[in-house]
Structure 1
Amino acid sequence: MSLEPLLNASPAIQIHAFGALLAFGIGIGILFGPKGTVPHRFMGWLWVLIMTAVAISAFWVQELRIIGPFSPIHLLSILTLAGLPKLVLAARRHDVRAHRRMVYILFFGALVVAGAFTFLPGRIMSAVVTGG
């Protein structure tokens, strides 16, 4: 394992990758921690801000150019940016069911599933893990 491929990448990729890793870690803490507490709300707001930065920074990550400078994965960034306000609004309305659903969709869709694709051969995170 070597961080060198990531540290040699563009600033947009570094912001995107380190932000996603941070959001993943905070998200795990939120998912398994007590709900409705002050720390839960604080960490939730922090998670939303980091996920916003991750989604926005994705538009400058253009290694897979399929549609102009973009790829279908960029649609996930648009969906994330649309979903984050819904997640916050559901929490503010105390709609626990809708809030939980949006959290799971964004956490697993935008971080776990999308993150898994970054470990495919030829991608930077694959090189980080394999040291190649």
Structure 2
Amino acid sequence: MSFDPLFAAPAVIQIHAFLALAAVVLTACILTLRKGSPLHRTLGWTWVLMMAAVALSSFWINQIRWIGPFGPIHILSVVTLVSLVLGVRAARRHDRGTHARIMRTLVFGALIIAGGFTLLPGRIMHAVVFGVAS
């Protein structure tokens, strides 16, 4: 494992990747907390802002294009941004079930599934984790 391919990538990709990795770590921390506690809320807001930054930064990453500069990841980014708003709104309304469902879906879809696609051959994170083919 070497972070050299990531450090050689454009700044927006570095920011995007490090925020996503930090969100994964923060997710694990939040899941260990008592739901609704002040720390859960503080770290939850931090996570929401981090995920919004990850989604927004993706609009400047245009390696896979379908329509103009936009590709399939940008659909996920829009869904992520909308879901963040809906998840926060559910929490503010004390609708714990909806809040939990939306946040679980975000973790699964935006972090785990999308993160898994970054490990495909030819992607930067594949080179980070598995090394560059010689």
TM-score category of the 2 structures, normalised to the smaller one: over 0.9
Quick check: 1:54 aligned with 2:54?
yes
The corresponding residue for 1:15 is 15
Which one-letter code corresponds to 1:6 in the other structure?
L
In structure 2, stretches of 5+ residues that fail to align are none
Larger mean CA deviation between 101-110 and 30-39 belongs to 30-39
Q: CA deviation at 1:105?
A: 1.0
- Relative to the length of structure 2, the TM-score reads 0.95
The corresponding residue for 1:104 is 104
- Same amino acid, percent of matched pairs: 55
Moved over 4 A (4+): none
Q: CA deviation at 1:32?
A: 3.0
Q: Deviations over 1:20-69 (max 9, x none)?
A: 00011101211232211111000000000000100000001111122221
- Relative to the length of structure 1, the TM-score reads 0.97
Which one-letter code corresponds to 2:102 in the other structure?
M
Quick check: 1:31 aligned with 2:20?
no
* CA distance, structure 1, for counterparts of residue 7 and residue 77 of structure 2: 23
Question: Between Structure 1 and Structure 2, how many residues are aligned?
Answer: 132
Q: CA deviation at 1:72?
A: 1.3
Which one-letter code corresponds to 1:53 in the other structure?
A
Quick check: 1:122 aligned with 2:122?
yes
Q: Report the 3-state secondary structure (helix = DSSP H, G, I; strand = E; otherwise coil) of the residue aligned with 1:53.
A: helix
- RMSD across aligned positions (CA): 0.8
Which one-letter code corresponds to 2:29 in the other structure?
G
Which one-letter code corresponds to 1:118 in the other structure?
T
